[in-house]
Amino acid sequence: MREDHLITAKQLSRADIEAVLDRAAEIDADVSAFGDRHEDAVLGLMFFEPSTRTKMSFETAIKRLGGETVDMGPVDSSSVKKGESLADTMRVVEGYADALVLRHPSQGAAKMVSEFVDVPLLNAGDGAGHHPTQTLLDLYTIRENAGLDDLNVGIMGDLKYGRTVHSLAHALTNFDAQQHFISPESLQLPRSVRYDLHESGAMVREHTELDEILPSLDVLYVTRIQRERFPDENEYQEIAGEYGIDLETLDAAKDDLTVMHPLPRVDEIAPEVDGTEYANYFEQAHNGVPVRMALLDQMLEEDQ
């Protein structure tokens, strides 16, 4: 397997992360200076699952580097409908593109594809598994607002199926960060993530109530409690309200708390929070472009 595939945040060292974030900051400062960095580069967008932010930010990123995209389009109009395997589809498209971005509903899809393709592969989400490029933009946002060390980070919501949570948790083990996981018991971290955090010696605490820990947090990363995971709508309604935040909730927070969300949100963060200094989730989404530009720049540069 190539070493420069990005499959999971676990493969990223602190130095790897800082190299991407530093380059993203350079890009952010003067995006036009990077406009001809990768003329003629073609990025293959392979989204087997719906996506708005991730797909558009990759598309914007390669275009701002001077490159183009090839896009498989919706699954319904692709060869997948004819029964072609993922491995075959990706082996064909690697002949068209200089790098590939894959989103797929099955866990481990990117890991498997990495064994078949020889152009750089970026995992843009594999089921409930990983989402490492989201993590890089999350870390960029955290660094811009709170630094990356001596942090108390709260991660709240669906921790069991939330791939952004899994990747962020892994990446934060590279930094001096105490991680607080806040969720209903039924949506706590999966066994595999707990195992990795334990093995890495991460500082981790689990909570069922946000108010137990909110006053000490520097960052609160909120994720959507996924309604479709609950067999009983009433059970969802009881839980969902407890894991949302509004201005009243934030009365107990530090003044400089950074509130983040990978989006889309439903009702986890009340709209009244949007106009406050706490809200960083739209900035976080915008950071996807410079961070993915930095990552693509690095990968395409190394591939030349």
Partner 1 sequence: MSDHELRVSKIRNGTVIDHIRGGQALNVLAILGIDGSEGEAVSVGMNVPSDRMSHKDIVKVEGRELSQDEVDVLSLIAPEATINIIREYEVAEKQHLERPERVVGVLSCPNHNCITNAGEPVETKFDVLDDGVRCEYCETIVRDDLAAHISVK
Q: Which residues bind partner 1 (CB under 8 A)?
A: 85-87, 104-109, 111-112, 115, 126-129, 191-192, 195
Token reading at 62: 């390669």
Angle of CA points 182, 188, 191, to nearest 5° = 135
Position of tokens 């960095």?
37
Least distance between partner 1 and beta carbon 255 (Å): 39
Q: Which is nearer to partner 1, 102 or 182 (CB)?
A: 102
Q: Which is nearer to partner 1, 91 or 207 (CB)?
A: 91
Q: Which is nearer to partner 1, 86 or 260 (CB)?
A: 86
Least distance between partner 1 and beta carbon 227 (Å): 18
Indicate if 131 belongs to the active site.
Answer: yes
In sequence order, the 6+-apart residues with CB closer than 8 A to the CB of 287 are 24, 28, 137, 140, 141, 144
Q: Are 246 and 272 in contact (CB under 8 A)?
A: yes
Question: Which residue in 8, 23, 54, 223 is the catalytic one?
Answer: 54
Question: Which residue in 37, 53, 111, 286 is the catalytic one?
Answer: 53
- Per-residue CA distances from 56 to 75, 278, 283 (Å): 17, 26, 15
Indicate if 64 belongs to the active site.
Answer: no
| H or E element at residue 60 | helix 53-64
Least distance between partner 1 and beta carbon 89 (Å): 10
Least distance between partner 1 and beta carbon 191 (Å): 5
Indicate if 54 belongs to the active site.
Answer: yes
Question: Which residue in 103, 143, 163, 166 is the catalytic one?
Answer: 103
Token reading at 284: 């976080």
**Catalytically active residues, by annotation:** 53-54, 82, 103, 131
